[in-house]
Structure 1
Amino acid sequence: MNVRQVIPRDAIPSVDAPSFTDRYEGPEDDDVISLTVGDETRAYPIRYLHYHEIVNDVVDGVPVAVTWCPLCGSAVVYDRRVAGHSLEFGVSGKLADDDLVMYDRETESEWKQSLGTCIAGELEGTELSVLPAAVTTWQAFTQTTPDGSVMAPPGGASEAAADGDDPKPIDYDIQPYERYFEADGFGLGAHRGTGGRDWDETLGGIGPKSVVLGLELDGVPVGVPLSVVESAGGVVTLDVGDQSVVVFATDAGIHAFSNPGLAFEPTADDRTFRADGTTWDGVTGAAIDGRTLGRLPARRLFAFAWRDDHGSDAFYLG
């Protein structure tokens, strides 16, 4: 694991006291991280997270860290509780294999964002628990959760708004990683235009920045590429550890649920699937007859980040 200091600590400021509203001023197709805990559902726009990367929040009494690494395209929500204590996370300014390194302000231990594992400090070896969350569009969020709330623009200054290391005032209308997402290369060098990294071209045609849904159940990691699910008609079923899983590819993201033994088939709609005599929403897991599939804890990230963490053999290729 290659760990290096890239920018000063907290030059990208975490959001530690988020506020919420029922209005979002961005485009309908903007991506948000959707999180439901208990009776509360909240959306965290990635447009804002580009400039902050971490949101320390409490949802229905549960301390959570909503995390985003733009270089890795990795969105993961963690429970912030460790051994009975609630941690608060900040941006260390370091990268580990091009992934955000978080630090906790209680012990100053360092954590690899895509893994949720402490890699240095007092808590080294400790793992955070992944919570069920999803990357979807703002439009889909409002359609499926009309009473949900969205994080308001935090404001302030961030290194992500600057050309150098010194934070500059944030303009959320500017997308600082747009060219990076469209380019072929990956990692910090590709973002800064100083070079890229090598990729395993034998991975079933999966590119380094292909979107992957990373599952780890019963200690078994499996990364499911969006393109593989799309090629299968928008739905695949597989076993991860001892659990049966169904993964849906929709017009509003890739989503994984516990499968109670059903055989799902796509419909003419980009978001619904048929099984057991009814129609199921691939974004929410809800059926017309009132049943609901249980969303699984998952990481949404680029293929290269999943490979860095788990190796080339940890992909589902159909």
Structure 2
Amino acid sequence: MRWNSAKIFWIGIILLVVPGLIHAYLLMPFPGSQDLNAITVCYYLEKVIMPLRLIGMLFIVWYLFKFYAKNTFKQKIVKAAVFLLCIGSFYITDYMYKAETMFKETANAVFANGLKNRVPLNYLVVGVVNNGVAKAYPLIYLGYHHKLQDNVGNKPVLVTYCTMCRTGRVYSPVINGVRQNFRLVGARHYNAIIEDESTKTWWYQATGNAAVGKLKGQQLTELPYEQLTLAAWLQKHPETLILQPDRLYTTDYADLKNYDRVQAIDRDSTIKNKDSLFRKSWVIGVIINGKAKAYDWRHMYAKRLLNDELNKSPLLIGIEKDSLSYHAWNTSVNGKALHFKLDNNGMLTDEETASVWDWDGLCVTGTQKGQRLAKIQAYQEYWHSWKHFHPGTTFWKGDESLEQTASIYPPF
């Protein structure tokens, strides 16, 4: 086979640049990239990028030694410029748009108690309790870092948050008996993808499902958490330790100002009907025995308290007066389902016995005093993310439950 000298050069350039550009495009939220079912392509492409680049360099070196000198001055300038642009593209693909360099995990996680805390009390936090130890992770910090690998009560935890889909999740980082370190790979379907160190499996942050790799089909063990304001968390856990801001990332935290409290739809003055359902509308998501349901946040806050049933389980959804702290409980007590309303003091009161319960699910006065409602794990999430990862979900909007369909909602 007789090789054309120009083909040798351009094949080398393509191998140097194109695989990395495709990989960066698919793993970052560029227009159209996140709608493709391409996680397997991304996974294996990442493994062959460096070998392809080495082959590309061999082609370039071959060309330089055998053909470059025969080029005209103009041809030499063009090819040299193209090669320099190739080198520059590595900055884009391997740094500028590489998730683990854009969103760095803090290397110095500092915690403080309530007396020494510098985090505003109205910040939202992800709260975790284990073995009597409570820790709070502010969303604004966690949202930039995407993940924090920590210990709570001598138990390893992987605390995660993805701002593209508004998903907080806490997992055990122990896989098959071995504690793993995780790196942030990028995103698919607007959700963060993380990789464990040992098996190099890729996991969806929103579900803990292994999407591709050696452990494909397995699932990270989810650990319970709550999302509420720091003030509400301190009221329940006054001895909590609170993650403090890392000064290295002050500017990055500032980019998320008001993320934890203002819906995107509220910042768009062109939208007249704020009750419309958009991609980034907030919902409260609940899953009971495999059955998923989402509750429209705006309508839920107007109602404040909702008695419902999901998969034959009595369910209570509530949002506190601060408009940010939310809860879900199973209302079965001693085999009987209770129904709740708010009293004049904003406390929970069951209709069956008129007992009063606090926002931690504990009965404080009445015949049920001392009883505690069982917590149900609930999530605050963008509607587009919830319906993607839970395609069979039902949806509640203002006292009516609707089966989720493939309807297309206005992009936002």
TM-score range, shorter chain: 0.7 to 0.9
Residue 224 (1) aligns with residue 316 (2): no
Which of residues 250, 255, 262 in structure 2 aligns to 1:175?
A: 255
Residue 119 (1) aligns with residue 195 (2): no
- Say if 1:16 and 1:262 are closer, same or farther in 2 by CA, change over 3 A: farther
Deviations 1:227-250 (A, max 9, x none): 34334x312222333432211111
Residue 21 (1) aligns with residue 21 (2): no
Aligned to 2:286: 215
Counterpart residue identity of residue 216, structure 1: I
Question: Partners of 1:60 and 1:285 in 2: how far apart?
Answer: 23
Question: Partners of 2:136 and 2:300 in 1: how far apart?
Answer: 25
SS of 1:10's partner is: helix
Residue 315 (1) aligns with residue 395 (2): yes
Structure 1 unmatched ranges of 5 or more: 157-168, 191-200
Which of residues 99, 104, 125 in structure 1 aligns to 2:196?
A: 104
Counterpart residue identity of residue 151, structure 2: V
Aligned to 2:100: 10
Counterpart residue identity of residue 295, structure 1: K
Counterpart residue identity of residue 206, structure 1: L
Question: Partners of 1:54 and 1:132 in 2: how far apart?
Answer: 16
- Say if 1:83 and 1:296 are closer, same or farther in 2 by CA, change over 3 A: farther
More strand as a share of residues: 1
Structure 2 unmatched ranges of 5 or more: 1-24, 29-96, 400-412
Which of residues 285, 290, 301 in structure 1 aligns to 2:370?
A: 290
Whether contact under 8 Å (2:282, 2:381) holds in the other structure is yes
Deviations 1:277-311 (A, max 9, x none): 322223x2222133322222232211111012123
Higher RCO structure (Cα 8 Å, ≥6 apart)? 1
Runs (4+) of structure 1 exceeding 6 A deviation are none
Question: Partners of 2:259 and 2:135 in 1: how far apart?
Answer: 28
SS of 1:129's partner is: coil
- Say if 1:182 and 1:223 are closer, same or farther in 2 by CA, change over 3 A: closer
- Say if 1:216 and 1:258 are closer, same or farther in 2 by CA, change over 3 A: same
Counterpart residue identity of residue 10, structure 1: E
Aligned to 2:310: 240
Counterpart residue identity of residue 21, structure 1: A
Aligned to 2:410: none
Shift, 1:5, TM fit = 1.7
Aligned residues: 285
SS of 1:150's partner is: strand
Shift, 1:223, TM fit = 1.9
Which of residues 146, 163, 176 in structure 2 aligns to 1:53?
A: 146
Q: Which residues in structure 2 correspond to 1:25-174 (within 5 Å)? A: 25-92=118-185, 94-156=186-248, 169-171=249-251, 174=254
- Say if 1:53 and 1:36 are closer, same or farther in 2 by CA, change over 3 A: same
- Say if 1:81 and 1:316 are closer, same or farther in 2 by CA, change over 3 A: farther
Whether contact under 8 Å (1:34, 1:141) holds in the other structure is yes
Aligned to 1:197: none
Question: Partners of 1:123 and 1:185 in 2: how far apart?
Answer: 41
Whether contact under 8 Å (1:15, 1:56) holds in the other structure is no
Question: Partners of 2:259 and 2:223 in 1: how far apart?
Answer: 30
- Say if 1:179 and 1:230 are closer, same or farther in 2 by CA, change over 3 A: closer
**Percent identity (aligned):** 20
Deviations 1:57-95 (A, max 9, x none): 222233221111112111111222333333332211x21
Question: Partners of 1:185 and 1:122 in 2: how far apart?
Answer: 43
Larger Rg: 2
Question: Partners of 1:106 and 1:98 in 2: how far apart?
Answer: 25
- Say if 1:52 and 1:173 are closer, same or farther in 2 by CA, change over 3 A: closer
Deviations 1:26-60 (A, max 9, x none): 32211111112231111001121122110112222
Whether contact under 8 Å (1:229, 1:249) holds in the other structure is yes
